[in-house]
Amino acid sequence: MAAPETHRAIDAVWRIEAPKLVARLTRMVRDVGIAEDLAHDALVVALEQWPVSGVPENPGAWLMATAKNRAIDYFRRNKRLERKHEEVARDLEARQKAAPDFDAGLDDPVGDDLLRLVFIACHPVLSTEGRVALTLRLLGGLSTDEIARAFLVPEPTIAQRIVRAKRTLASRRVRFEVPRGPELTERLQSVLEVIYLIFNEGYAATAGDDWLRPALCDDAVRLGRVLAELVPGEPEVHGLVALMEIQASRSHARVSATGEPILLPDQDRSRWDHLLMRRGLAALARAESLSATRGSYTLQAAIAACHARAPSAGETDWRRIVMLYSELASLAPSPVVELNRAVAVGMADGPQSALDLVDRLVDEPSMRAYPFLPGVRGDLLAKLGRLHEARVEFERAASLTRNRRERELLLARANDLAVKQL
C-alpha cells in the first residue's frame, strides 16, 4: 500500500479506535490527559511503522498493545509515583506477557470504559466550551485544528480549552466511573446537552459563512448512537437521537446549490433523507415506549416528527405542535420555547394571535441579542400587512446574527418589503 493510502487508512482507524484506546488507558492510568498522550504515542509509532510494514490485520489491537507498552514505560520512568502505580505497571506487564498476541488486545468489552469516558469528558465541573472541545477530542477523534475550524475559533484557543479541562479533571480528582442513582440523571443531562450543542452548531451555525456544518451534525449523531448503545434503557438518550436524526434528514434540502438557506415551508421534501427519517421515528417510538412521561428531547423529537410525517408543508399538524410546545413549556419553561410555541400558534390560529405572544417576550433580557425574535416578529408583521415595521424587524435581526448566510436571507426579506412599499 502506498504511503498516502496508508496514512488515509491510519486516519480512518484512528477515528474509530481513539475513543476505545483513551477509555481503556484512562481506566489503567487514572488520568485522562496521560491516557490521551499514551494513545497518541501509539499513533506516532503507527505512522512510522505501518507505511513500511503495512496496516496490521487488527489495527485497533496493535494500537492498544503499543499503548500498553508505552504505559509500562511511563510507570517505570516516573520515580515519584506511588506504590499503587508500580503495582498497576506490574499488572500491565504481567497481562501483556500472558496475552502477547495483538488480537487479544481489544477482545474485552469496552462499553463500560467508553461510558466512563463519556461521563468524564462531559463532567459538570468543566465549562461548557471545555466539555464540547474535550468530547470532540476524546470521543470524536478530532484533532485540535479540526475542532477549531468547526467552531471558527483560533487553534490555540481550542488547545487551551482542552488543556484546562484536563487539568481541572486531574485537580478535582474526578473519578473514572459511571455515576449512580440521582447523580446519574444529573450527569446524563450534561452529556446530552454537550452532544446537542455540537449538533446544533452543525445544523444552524451561529457564525461564519456556512448555514450548515454537516461534519459536526454527523459527529453528534454518531456520539448519540454510541450513547444509546451504552445506556439502552434511558428514554431521553433515544429521544435526543431521534431529534437529531429527524432534523438531520432535512439537511440536503435546507440549502441551495450555492449555499443559500431554504426555509422549511419552501423545502423540496423529496430531497429529505427518508432512511435517516425512519431511523429517527423508530428512535422516537423507542423513547416513548420506555417511559410514560416524555422528557424535553423526546418532546422536541415529537415536534420534529410532525414535520417529518407531513407530506407537504400545508398538511402539517400545527395544532398538535402547539400542544407539544405547551407540554414542553410546562416541563422546561424558557423564552425560546415560548417563541417557538408562538410560531406554531401563528400557523394554527393566525399571525395576530402569535404576535400577541411574541410581544410579551420583547422585554425579556435573555432575548435582546437573539436574532430569531425580531426575525419571527418581522414575519408576523409582514403577514399582517405592517410592512414598514416588518422591514425594521428584519434589519434588526440581520444586525444581531453572526452567520453570513442568515444575515443575507434577512436583508433580502427586508429589501423585498422595501420594494413592496414603493
* pLDDT score, position 102: 38
The dihedrals phi and psi of 73, each to the nearest 5 degrees, come to -60, -40
CA dist., res. 190 & res. 192, Å (int): 6
Of the listed ranges 89-98, 112-121, 354-363, the one predicted with least confidence: 89-98
* pLDDT score, position 30: 85
Per-residue buried b or exposed e for 68-89, using 16+ beta carbons within 10 Å of the residue's own CB: bbbbbebbeeeeeeeeeeeebb
Average pLDDT value for the chain: 88
* pLDDT score, position 98: 45
Give the model's confidence band at 381: pLDDT under 50 very low, under 70 low, under 90 confident, else very high: very high
In sequence order, the 6+-apart residues with CB closer than 8 A to the CB of 389 are 381
Average pLDDT score over residue span 71-77? 77
CA dist., res. 160 & res. 139, Å (int): 18
* pLDDT score, position 141: 79
Q: Answer yes or no: are the C-beta atoms of 103 and 64 closer than 8 Å.
A: no
Beta partners for 208? Answer: 403
Q: 356 pLDDT exceeds 80? A: yes
* pLDDT score, position 83: 55
Q: Nine-digit cell at 279? A: 431511523
Q: 280 pLDDT exceeds 70? A: yes
CA dist., res. 413 & res. 416, Å (int): 5
CA dist., res. 330 & res. 214, Å (int): 32
Task: Report pLDDT digits (tens) over 117-138.
Answer: 999 999 999 999 999 999 988 8
Average pLDDT score over residue span 266-285? 96
* pLDDT score, position 99: 43
Q: Which residue has the higher pLDDT, 272 or 259?
A: 272
Task: Report pLDDT digits (tens) over 212-259.
Answer: 888 889 989 999 999 999 899 999 999 999 999 999 999 999 999 888
Q: Which residue has the cell 496521560?
A: 34
Of the listed ranges 253-267, 295-309, 319-333, the one predicted with least confidence: 253-267
Give the model's confidence band at 103: pLDDT under 50 very low, under 70 low, under 90 confident, else very high: very low
Q: 100 pLDDT exceeds 50? A: no
